Amino acid sequence: MNNKEYQQLLCEELDRYFSLVERELGVKKSNAGTASVESQVTNNSDEVKYFLPTIKITEDWGKIGSKDREIIEKFTRNIGGSTLAEKIANINRVIINRTATGIPQILGSMVVIEILNAVLREFTESAGGFIFEGFLAGLFGAEAVQIRDVGDQAEAGEATEAAGKPITDVVLGGREYSLKLLGQTTEVKGSFKNMVEHFRVKDHIIYLDARRTQVDGNLSGLEFGEFTVTRENFMQVCMDPFLKQVIAKSEAIENAAELKAFLAQNGSAAKEIRFAKKFPGSNAKVFTYSRKLDEIRVSGEDLVNIIKTIQKMPDEELQELAPYRVMYSQSKFEKTKAEMLFGTFTLAMAIKDASESGDTEKLLSLLEATPGYKNSLQFNFTRKQVESIVSFEEVGTLQISEEVLKSTWQAYGEILSTTIEPIYKALNEFNSNINSFFTEEQSDDGNRKQYGLAAATNAKDLKSATDNAVKQITASPDASE
């Protein structure tokens, strides 16, 4: 819908409201301007008010084709980005960096923040998490869909041969996500058996954690992190974090063949690899694993890729980088959560071999023999364990407090005060007054009629504000047709 079509539609709606007020009150449009009801907007200059569209919080955001999905997409599609990290970065450019120039981006970002604030503030963790799933589907739009049962999977074209409850909560950009709305120290939990069943028909699942942050006891933001589980890295994710880490050791190696052999056996425990010369394709001689990345640290996934590159290099080429030093940690399997899920170390190693070799049939057969599968046990990662997972990534942080909304409104005050504010202020007051007109009993002082007359005034203000906003926006160099 372009600006002119939107203006025409809004004007038609306003005419309908005028007719309604005329019929109920027996007054003409020209009389409407004389009525008023005390505004609820404060005159206190120290208190910041912002005016945004009122959007119904609903489970239908996750349903493709629903009316509520269409409404939320009208705002979120202007944020841009194909991944959650990109969308968070784009929102932060609006609300933190304050570099947005267009109303669609500003309005879309502020609506996202307001909705998240309302969902987390007004709903329980369970109900809020369910609505949050649908909202993320609406944020991505297109074919993104919330998965609530096997029927939703079938409608989305998803394979449904797996037994048990689906562990996929939402499909975003063609990727399967299990969403967790958590506190700062809440564990990530799930059904081990359902995860195994998931991998009968799927090749991945991404666990997305959204952790609430607080300032002075009040909700302030959401920290997003994610890790991916695949058939190939299953044991790196589902066993390694549970192993007890013994003190790190250092191994000095002189020979290329010996380095390859050592990493083949201990590569998953490697924490740092040092070379005498810069490693090909990089400017570094030292690669140290850390969750916090900077110029001298790499992610677990990057370290795994370096080890794979080492194994593929000709010995002669690798020898030129000698001598080497590998820092690694030893792990203990007994009396850990890993033992509880996998039973014996021998079975765990067989599963690891099948996983890394890509033998899916053997992998699933071996997993069915584990206590975790047979006894339908739950896995549970502490936050520290989650962040130690090789595929874990920090996605980004959104500040969603009301203070952020107010400061953002102030930052873009010049453009919003002449376009968005007059429209939504008049619309909010119209809704309040027309609702009061229909629900209040008529009294001797005529209060009910005054509400109706005030609603007519609001409608006139709304039409005038809309005309002005359309003129300003369409005259802007950044305006879209």
CA 288, CA 303: separation in Å to the nearest integer?
Answer: 8
Question: Which pLDDT value is given to residue 465?
Answer: 82
Residues 67, 193 within the same domain: yes
Residue 339 placed within a domain? no
Backbone angles phi, psi at 135, to 5 degrees: -65, -40
CA 23, CA 132: separation in Å to the nearest integer?
Answer: 42
Kindly list the distances between the CA atom of residue 362 and the CA atoms of 309, 351, 352, 387, in Å, as whole numbers in the listed order.
Answer: 27, 8, 11, 29
Name which of 318, 326, 324 is nearest 268 in CA terms.
Answer: 326
Give the pLDDT of the chain (481 residues) as one tens digit per residue. 444 444 454 455 555 555 554 554 444 443 333 333 233 334 443 455 667 777 888 888 999 999 999 989 988 988 989 999 999 999 999 999 988 878 888 888 999 999 998 888 888 777 888 899 999 999 998 889 999 875 555 454 455 455 557 899 999 989 999 999 999 999 999 999 999 999 999 999 999 999 999 998 888 999 999 999 999 999 999 999 998 766 568 899 999 999 999 999 888 778 899 999 999 988 899 998 875 555 557 777 788 889 999 999 999 999 999 999 999 877 788 889 999 999 998 999 999 999 999 999 999 999 999 999 999 999 999 999 999 998 999 999 999 988 888 888 888 877 777 777 888 888 888 888 888 888 876 655 567 788 888 888 888 888 888 888 777 777 665 554 4
Residue with tokens 């080429």: 317
Is the bond into 314 cis (omega within 30 degrees of 0)? no
Q: Provide the 3-class DSSP secondary structure of residue 401.
A: coil
Kindly list the distances between the CA atom of residue 220 and the CA atoms of 96, 119, 120, 210, 403, in Å, as whole numbers in the listed order.
Answer: 13, 13, 10, 13, 9
Q: Could you tell me how far CA 70 lies from the centroid of its own chain?
A: 19
Decide: 209 and 224 in contact? Cβ < 8 Å. Answer: yes
Name which of 185, 194, 103, 139 is nearest 379 in CA terms.
Answer: 194
Residues 228, 254 within the same domain: no
Amino acid code (one letter) for 170: V
Residues 215, 191 within the same domain: yes
Residue 28 placed within a domain? yes
Residues 70, 127 within the same domain: yes
Residue 124 placed within a domain? yes
Q: Provide the 3-class DSSP secondary structure of residue 123.
A: coil
Element (H, E) at 379: strand 378-381
Backbone angles phi, psi at 266, to 5 degrees: -120, 10
Question: Which pLDDT value is given to residue 453?
Answer: 87
Question: Which pLDDT value is given to residue 430?
Answer: 86
Residues 189, 251 within the same domain: no
Residue with tokens 């010369």: 277
150: tokens are 């096997």
The tally of domains found in the chain comes to 3
- Dihedral angle sign, alpha carbons of residues 116, 121, 122, 126: positive
Residues 229, 251 within the same domain: no
Decide: 259 and 407 in contact? Cβ < 8 Å. Answer: no
What is the b/e burial string over 59-89, where b = at least 16 CB atoms within 10 angstroms of the residue's CB? bbbbbbebebbebbbbbbebbeeeebeebbb
Residue 127 placed within a domain? yes
Residues 160, 66 within the same domain: yes
DSSP string, 194-263: HHHHHHHH-SEEEEEEEEEEEETTEEEEEEEEEEEEESSSHHHHHTGGGSEEEEEEEEEE--HHHHHHHH
Report long-range pairs for 269-272 (Cβ below 8 Å, ≥24 apart): 269/328, 269/329, 269/330, 269/331, 270/303, 270/307, 270/326, 270/327, 270/328, 271/327, 271/328, 271/329, 272/325, 272/326, 272/327
Cβ neighbours of residue 205 closer than 8 Å, sequence gap 6 or more: 167, 168, 176, 177, 178, 195, 198, 228, 229
Strand blocks (E) in 127-182: 145-146, 170-172, 175-182
Residue 53 placed within a domain? no
Domain boundary among 290, 315, 331: 331
Residues 267, 142 within the same domain: no
Residues 225, 256 within the same domain: no
Q: Provide the 3-class DSSP secondary structure of residue 192.
A: helix
Residue with tokens 């992190």: 225
Residues 20, 65 within the same domain: no
Domain that includes residue 150, residue range: 59-233+395-402
Residue 192 placed within a domain? yes
Residues 269, 220 within the same domain: no
Residue 361 placed within a domain? no
CA 351, CA 349: separation in Å to the nearest integer?
Answer: 5
Residue with tokens 């203006």: 7
Task: Report the DSSP beta bridge partners of residue 175.
Answer: 172
Domain boundary among 369, 402, 435: 402
pTM for the whole thing? 0.70
Residue 368 placed within a domain? no
Residue with tokens 């539609």: 9
Domain boundary among 402, 436, 451: 402
Question: Which pLDDT value is given to residue 313?
Answer: 96
- Dihedral angle sign, alpha carbons of residues 263, 267, 271, 272: positive
Decide: 95 and 106 in contact? Cβ < 8 Å. Answer: no
Residues 123, 254 within the same domain: no
